[in-house]
Structure 1
């Protein structure tokens, strides 16, 4: 659903038609469920977020709506299902990052001929309240080399930049180079660091034994954390 096109929940019954919408009853225990991604990693100016509804709201004349609620900015958009099970939420890299709560705004079932003693009507449904966190994507890679007992580890970090509208070197982010002695051992920190202006960091140290290495970048309120692949030297 297009952003910031807000449909009051009170209008939903009218959109369905002239049929009667029931007040909450035992039948309302039936639920309309929204399935939304828990995490969205933003790597482009525009990100398509696929949403899915299930239950009696998602077919026939069923209807359902959820408001996309930001914790500080309020309602930023909505998810709307009109007899369908899929919707698309449009997220742009100039939108507000953070954790959105999908707040129920009303859901009704397909027409039920047996409602009201055979008069027919729509049943109001309960709804869930999922959450989705939007942050910029980040990536870290690590190359390794060994010369006898000297091991060199080189880190390169990147992220998406809304200002530049492209992937840029990720400078000034804290991270750590970690190691472990076997695939079943716990990871230990070898060196904590902060990336340079070019998004890099390099470490050379002495180790006669073979070890597994990886790099972990710290996450922030607007950028996801990242972990490199594992290299053995």
Structure 2
């Protein structure tokens, strides 16, 4: 049996030409040797040639003088064994290189490090991999890179746009430069907010006051949030379900005031919901 290896895309030399710079031989191929179909193995083509007139069990091997991938060498070695000794490989899932990122990121200061974690498939199989961070309006803003470590950090600054980012594949390759599958993630990046509450009682009248602030890139800290709708919720006991009471919007100073009538003490809290650029927040609980 003769084995001949050729790189896909190369000019294939005649294996019977011993002067070829790409082929080294340990035996000459007979001109009448029938050739089996070429098979693509990791970017290399190989074929088995059955020599006629050779002694039973005689083995001859053609190898390229240029380096061969480990995978091709393994195929060459296996081809020299009797078929009866070759066990069928067990079915295995194709390796992949996946990434985990936080689903929500609150911007509460001028700089935020956003950490991504790579899967065990990256650590076991990948030579290199990358993911692009894509904003729905502004497009590409940066990347996560895999270079052998288990994590990578994207440096997010408060002047960058907020929104729902797509963390999409940009290519992952193993040590033979075969492509690995990658997953896609999304990250919702918005400004953080705070909700304060205070309360007082005068007879059966309860006054609940609140202040809403949001991180401001211009100020570099939290600032009053005007025009924000704030919801008042109440419950009768510490384990009872919260029930909506009423709502109003903040003034120019981010403040709201509610007055309610209650002859017995109740639990109160204030809540805002997410907007297009700000995460909502729920206040602490006040009992009056």
Q: Normalised by the shorter chain, which TM-score bucket?
A: 0.7 to 0.9
**Deviating 4+ runs (over 6 angstroms):** none
Distance of 1:107 and 1:73 partners within structure 2: 24
Distance of 1:34 and 1:49 partners within structure 2: 13
**1:88 equivalent in structure 2:** 153
Equivalences for 1:202-213 in 2 at 5 Å? 202-213=257-268
Matched, 1:128 2:183: yes
Distance of 2:127 and 2:198 partners within structure 1: 54
Say which of 85, 94, 97 aligns to 1:32.
97
Distance of 1:59 and 1:19 partners within structure 2: 22
Higher mean alpha-carbon deviation, 33-42 vs 146-155, is at: 146-155
Unaligned runs of 5+ in 1: 1-17, 112-120
**2:202 equivalent in structure 1:** 147
Distance of 1:126 and 1:209 partners within structure 2: 61
Task: Calculate the aligned-residue CA RMSD, in Å.
Answer: 2.4
Distance of 1:156 and 1:182 partners within structure 2: 25
Matched, 1:71 2:136: yes
Shift of 1:157: 1.0
Equivalences for 1:154-173 in 2 at 5 Å? 154-173=209-228
Shift of 1:173: 0.6
Structure in which a larger fraction of residues adopt strand: 1
- CA shift digits 1:153-188 (9 cap, x unpaired): 110111111122221111211111111223443322
The 3-state SS of whatever aligns with 1:143 is strand
Change (3 A) 1:97 1:51: same
Change (3 A) 1:107 1:55: farther
- CA shift digits 1:196-216 (9 cap, x unpaired): 111111122221122211111
1:171–1:197 Cα contact (<8 Å) kept: yes
The 3-state SS of whatever aligns with 2:97 is strand
Report how many residues are paired: 203
**2:112 equivalent in structure 1:** 47
Matched, 1:219 2:274: yes
- CA shift digits 1:25-75 (9 cap, x unpaired): x87722212110000100111111111111232368632111111112221
TM-score with structure 1 setting the length: 0.79
* Greater relative contact order, per chain length (Cα 8 Å cut-off, separation 6+): 1
Name the larger-Rg structure. Answer: 2
Unaligned runs of 5+ in 2: 1-66, 72-90
2:97–2:126 Cα contact (<8 Å) kept: no
